[in-house]
Amino acid sequence: MLTLPGRYYRLHPSFDNPLGHAEEQLELDPARTGFLIVDAYGRGFDDDDDAGEGRTGIYTPDPVIRRIVREHIVPARDAARRAGLPVVHVTNHLSPGLAESTEWRNLSMRTCDVDVLEAWREPNDVLVYSDVVAPGPGEPLIRKQMYSGFYETTLDSTLRARDVKDLVVVGFDSRICLGNTVTEAMYRGYRVIVLRDCVRTFEYPETREGELANLLAIRYIESNVGYTATSEEFIASCARLVPGDG
């Protein structure tokens, strides 16, 4: 078994006086546990990448995300591979169902100054994978249009075909695509464990100090969706399954 300390947040006995964080020692059957990477695409994560070329606005490279990918997500993914867990990737793409009148496209133009009908046309540096975090041989790549990895995709059937019950999840954005995906995973009966040092969200001017938006995203997951753990804890749990690993 994979044994992992799952942190969650207790809202009782009242919202005014919650008990707060607690941990539960989770036992995950490796044969029924999947490792899900949400939206870890884009150039800039490889050693020889010029991450700043041609990317501006909301796609300006974030050095913190680069560090998270290289120092936390990639080692956790590698540990999952060594332990024999199925690794599944979720990415954005320009769906044939997207048109000029699609409200999500207009929302993106209004709030982000991005027309996905242009910005997401392939090839582009926004949605391409850096080698270090690209899907490996045999690893499914699920293409989505909206925030949730389950919306009009084959993610659910892909996981069920592999008999997955528990999902260890990493990636971006903790409030938007990852947040919606793990919420819908819970709806479908999956037990969710998000590695909290493997996620990030964009911060508003009012939340930058203390990275409050990301803190609240993690708190929402711990209160309303499932559990969190750290990449270090997950890697150690995988290593106990693989003699001589680590």
pLDDT in tens, 12-67: 999 999 999 999 999 999 999 999 999 999 999 999 876 556 667 888 889 999 99
User: Are 196 and 218 a contacting pair, CB within 8 Å?
Assistant: yes
What is the predicted pLDDT for the residue at 203?
A: 96
What is the predicted pLDDT for the residue at 246?
A: 55
All residues at 6 or more sequence positions from 68 whose CB lies less than 8 Å from its CB, including other chains? 197, 198, 199, 200
Global pTM exceeds 0.85: yes
Please state, in angstroms and as integers, the Cα–Cα distance from residue 19 to each residue in 62, 170, 216, following that order: 35, 27, 17
Confidence of residue 202 (pLDDT cuts 50, 70, 90): very high
